[in-house]
Structure 1
C-alpha cells in the first residue's frame, strides 16, 4: 500500500512541473485542428466524387 501512496505523491509532484498551455494557446490549436479537418474532408470528398464518376464512366450501370 505504501508503494501506491508513493506513486500518487510522485504523480502529483510531476504534474506540478508541467507547463500547461494558456487558454489562448488551446483555442488557437483547436482552430487549427478543426480547419485542417474540414479542408482534408473536402479534399477527400472531392477525390471520392471524381473516382465515383470515373468508375461510373468505366463501368456503366446496366
Structure 2
C-alpha cells in the first residue's frame, strides 16, 4: 500500500484547483462569496484580542 506524503497530497490538491476560475477573482468577489455562505464563521481578524474569547464563546452557544 502506497501512503502519499504531504508533498504529494499538496501537489494533488493544487492540480485539482480550477485556477482559470480562481485567478481572476478580486477581493470583493471573495468577500461576496463569504458573505453569501451561512456556514462561514464571522471574520474576527480585526477584532481586539480581548474580545476574541467572548466572541468565540458567544458563537458556540448561539449555534448549539
**TM-score clears 0.5:** no
TM range (shorter): under 0.3
TM, length-normalised to structure 2: 0.26
Larger relative contact order (C-alpha < 8 A, sep ≥ 6)? 2
More helix by share: 1
User: Rg bigger for which structure?
Assistant: 1
